[in-house]
Amino acid sequence: MKFIDEAVIEVRAGKGGPGARHFRREKFVPLGGPDGGNGGRGGSVILRADSNVHTLLDFKFQAVWEAKSGEAGQGSRKDGRAGEDVVITLPVGTQVFAYDLENKDQGDLVVDLDVEGREFVLAKGGRGGKGNAFFKTSTNQAPEHTQPGEAGEEGAFQLSLKLVADVGLVGFPNAGKSTLISRISAARPKIADYPFTTLVPNLGVVQAKGGRSFVVADIPGLIEGASEGKGLGIRFLKHVERTKIIAHLLDLTQLMENGEEADLEVLFDTINRELRNFSEEVSAREQIVVLTKVDSVSSEERVEHFRQRFVARGLTVHVISSVTGAGIEELIEIFARRVFPMA
């Protein structure tokens, strides 16, 4: 399934049906009066958050959504049938903004569908018109007047998906994020030994001991300048905004261009600078440092050296190998204790 997290749609609610102008005409009823029924209301366009939907791909193929109009009223005081509502299912975490089609400009936030099952009426159907029976009074026994149906609401909106996950995996390209999420969940992202293998976020459900389960998001690799649009840029930084904790992956085998060891603290600080430039709130979130690919490092002293440098900064540090499985179960338990602190 192709991951799409931005889309623009147009919606139009149904028009209300017109009221009927009708007079009762029956044999043996000499004093028949007005009996025109009311028009039916127009259908509304309703949004619903659904955890079974994971992308906005459908809206690239269907950009216009219209509800049915209400039917006209009839004689014998029969009201017209209401127009059928249109229910649009969206991924949990979708934000809906007003949108100016002419200037291609995003407006104010209309609704944030951040909870499973939440519904919102995006465009309300028009009210049905009154038939002439409604206007009968003691002084106006045979009204000719009726009402037309009201127009339904309409507009253009931008959909923006922010993943809802408990743990966000961040780090430079090839830090081991995709391999980790494939090891701890059923997610199967593309894995290769070149940068930017992961082009879209991936979600995985992790089962911990005691029946605890939580969602992990693999965020595509960040680089210096990501908050300014470099690399995959700011587009995917938004997906860490809803996470409870951030797992910052650092590759123990990473080398600098001249072949010398990279300073992992410099790499760590670079990513955190991008997070801070993007959002102070995100950068203040609890982080767990995960040193990956320990199976490829021959010196335990070197690993411990890197670990202690982060511990000295007051950070929780864990060393793993997604290939051999070393440290994986312990890492899952660390995540679970942070996600379920009272469990």
Domain map of the chain by residue range? 6-161, 167-339
In tens digits, the chain (343 residues) has pLDDT values of: 456 778 999 999 999 999 999 888 776 655 678 898 999 999 999 999 998 887 888 898 899 999 999 999 998 889 999 999 999 999 888 999 999 999 999 999 999 998 999 999 999 999 999 999 899 888 888 888 999 999 999 999 999 988 778 898 988 888 888 889 989 987 665 544 434 344 467 778 888 888 888 888 888 766 555 445 544 545 667 778 888 899 999 988 874 444 456 688 888 998 898 888 888 888 888 999 999 998 887 778 878 888 898 999 999 999 999 999 999 999 999 999 999 886 5
pLDDT at 61: 86
Beta-bridged to residue 111, according to DSSP, are 96
281-293: burial string, b at 16+ Cβ within 10 Å, e else: ebbeeebbbbbbb
3-state secondary structure 145-201: CCCCCCCCCEEEEEEEECCCCCEEEECCCCCCHHHHHHHHCCCCCCCCCCCCCCCCC
pLDDT at 283: 85
- Find how far residue 66's CA is from the centre of its chain: 22
Nearest to 18 by CA among 143, 148, 134, 127: 148
Q: Identify the burial level of 297 via C-beta atoms within 10 angstroms of its C-beta, where 0-12 means exposed, 13-18 middle and 19 or more buried.
A: middle
CATH code of 6-161, in short, is 2.70.210.12
CA 314/CA 305 separation, integer angstroms: 15
Give Cβ neighbours of residue 338 (< 8 Å, ≥ 6 apart). 167, 244, 245, 286, 288
C-alpha angle 298-303-307 in degrees, rounded to nearest 5: 170
Pick the CATH number of 167-339 from 3.40.250.10, 3.30.300.30, 3.40.47.10, 3.40.50.300: 3.40.50.300
Q: Identify the burial level of 148 via C-beta atoms within 10 angstroms of its C-beta, where 0-12 means exposed, 13-18 middle and 19 or more buried.
A: middle
Q: Are 130 and 72 in contact (CB under 8 A)?
A: no
